Amino acid sequence: MEEYREIRKRTRDFLEMCYTPDLAVEVTLQPLRRFALDAAILFSDILVVPHALGAEIKFKEGEGPCVRPVTDASGLARLDLAHLHERLAPVYETVRRLRSSVPEKVALIGFAGAPWTLAAYLVEGRGSKEFLEPRLLARRDPNLFARMIDLLTEAVTEFLSAQVEAGAEALQLFDSWAGVLPEAELRRWCIEPARRIVSILRRRHPEVPIILFPRGVGASLKLFASESGAQALSLDTSVPMAWAAAEVYGPGCTALQGNLDPVALLGPEPDLLAEARSILRAAASRPHIFNLGHGVLPMTAPERVQALVRYLKSGDV
């Protein structure tokens, strides 16, 4: 974290760091230098896509993203695909540099935010626990909201495809706020756009696996498995791994990813390793990518991560 903070001081804002290949490459590589990891994930942010479409976005210290809300047709008209690849060119350059810098046996993962989650930030204007504004807009003006989702679906598809062309070997689609929607709206605003994205990407890049992370959807993971087309599903901490290993199947969906509680890395080491062992044993019947159920907490001690990685590499399950 100290190395990251030093890099952060060299930029005016967070997005500048995402768009500066030298810095983005350095932040991506730092975990590989410290830990014996099997994969690296591109350092970027899900909001680079709406930003590239023309949305006004700033990251404020202590607040996170602040977006000029898009709530009507005139606001949506400000967004377009015309300069998408031009504005995202620094991200593609980062991927190209990483492909030549990441060790041969370490996979390089590209990623993007899913259309619903991006739309949620665009309409709400900032982070939220409930995202009431986008949920209300989707009900009051479903045609307008569908146009927004369609635009974001196309943009995300093109962004991910360009990452593969630049060197990404796997892709992850993050639908961080899928969990606020009921089933019918999950299908319309999350699963159907994901299905369209996955379908196009699998035609263009059949060799590249796609991981979908619909955070907070619980038992609806079964819908994502059977209807999204993704080859793997990532699980948040709340999902019992044993249940997912037994129940979450679908056409082509053969693997699970997850789902250690990030807080476990802050507790006693024996408890941490016991929780990891429990996940590994529960997932033993399925192809499994061990990961956290969400991001690493800023106060996490590197020594805890080292202990976890050593345990996972030992095969002592």
pLDDT in tens, 88-129: 999 999 999 999 999 999 999 999 999 999 999 999 999 999
Task: Indicate the pTM of the whole model.
Answer: 0.94
- Exposure of 5 by Cβ count < 10 A (0-12 exposed, 13-18 middle, 19+ buried)? exposed
Fold of 2-234: TIM Barrel (3.20.20)
The confidence score (pLDDT) of residue 250 equals 85
Query: In the chain, what percentage of residues exceed pLDDT 70?
Result: 96
- Least confident segment among 6-20, 26-40, 114-128, 184-198: 6-20
The yes-or-no verdict on residue 222 having pLDDT over 80 is: yes
pLDDT of residue 61: 79
Domain assignments of the chain as residue spans, ordered by start: 2-234
Residues linked to residue 257 through DSSP beta bridges, in sequence order? 234, 289
pLDDT band for position 243 (cuts 50, 70, 90) = very high
pLDDT of residue 269: 96
DSSP letter, residue 181: S
Tens of pLDDT, residues 247-299:
998 888 999 999 999 999 999 999 999 999 999 999 998 999 999 999 999 99
